[in-house]
Amino acid sequence: MSETLAKPATDTAPEVLYEVSDGIATLTLNRPDRMNAISGPMLAKLSADLLKANADPKVRVVVITGAGRAFCVGLDLVDATQGSGIGSQTDRVSVDLDLRNTPPTILFAMDKPTICALNGSAAGYGLDTALGCDIRIMGESAKLAVAFTKRGIVPESGGTWLLPRLLGWSKAAELIFTGRTLLAPESLAIGLVSEVVPDGEVLARAMAMAAEIAANAPLAVQCSKRLMRMGMEETFNDHVHHVYLQLLQLFRTQDFKEGMVSFLEKRPADFKGR
């Protein structure tokens, strides 16, 4: 059985639920009756919530999951084929949308660590959203559908950039060109997810990992993520200089002093993010 923080959606329920507890922001895609297919309002709410979490000093880690039995099956094709929604002939998203403020670009630019709790299957936009997270934890019955070319489109939300970097060119080309659907064991074997756990334990495992991350010095975690992102495009010599500059800043923080003192006193550190 899939798990969720959400209550059954109603006509007035937010399409993305947002909750912060113990330094962890949990964002839940909340259209379980549509298997969390992406609508225009959901897209806008997800973008706004990601930006809010990244700007909130109380948030140290972000977990994204879905309500019901799926994580996200992609854009809402029912709405699109009926002449409304994203991708329909009446939709002006392709000319009006500012791509700098959409979930894929926001996820990529975020300094806060992100974990995708794949409580169920992901396809299309949902798959790209999962790939945009730093860490993915997958339920044992979930599937990852790289089915873009089977629908006459491309991985439109980061997949063509992310998959070759995650898997290498050959494997990424195989998956994208064939439009294959992956089961959990293969997803784990090729490194597309970090862990596969029983379906009912996905969110709990993601929250446990988030708590482990949140216990560390948040400025150091965020600097590490920023440097990893920069390092993907830099030479080694350029990168080590950027690392050194970040390190000089961290040496001046209270968290650095707390890390050293707590180590010497053999106690858990109490980091404040300062």
Least confident interval from 78-82, 104-108, 125-129 = 78-82
Q: Compute the distance between CA of residue 201 and CA of residue 189 in angstroms, rounded to an integer.
A: 20
User: Could you report the per-residue pLDDT of 204-245, keeping only the tens digit for each?
Assistant: 999 999 999 999 999 999 999 999 999 989 999 999 999 999
Supply angle C-alpha 202, 118, 162, rounded to 5. 135
Supply angle C-alpha 230, 231, 234, rounded to 5. 95
Q: Can you give the pLDDT at residue 4? A: 42
Pairing of strands 24-29, 61-66: parallel
CA neighbor of 30 nearest in space, from 17, 48, 49: 17
The structure tokens listed for 204 are 């709990």
Q: Can you give the pLDDT at residue 150? A: 75
SS (H, E, C) 191-228: CCCCEEECHHHHHHHHHHHHHHHHCCCHHHHHHHHHHH
CB 28 within 8 A of CB 5: yes
Kind and range of the H or E element at 7? none
Question: pLDDT higher for 161 or 87?
Answer: 161
Which residues fall within 8 angstroms of residue 1, CB to CB, at 6 or more apart?
199, 200
Which residues fall within 8 angstroms of residue 5, CB to CB, at 6 or more apart?
17, 19, 26, 28, 65, 67, 203
Domains of the chain are 16-214 (3.90.226.10), 218-264 (1.10.12)
Mean pLDDT estimate for the chain = 88
| pTM over 0.95, yes/no | no
Least confident interval from 124-133, 155-164, 212-221 = 155-164
Residue whose tokens read 């009006």: 96
Pairing of strands 24-29, 121-123: unpaired
Q: Compute the distance between CA of residue 102 and CA of residue 96 in angstroms, rounded to an integer.
A: 12
User: Could you report the per-residue pLDDT of 55-87, keeping only the tens digit for each?
Assistant: 999 999 999 999 999 999 988 766 555 555 555
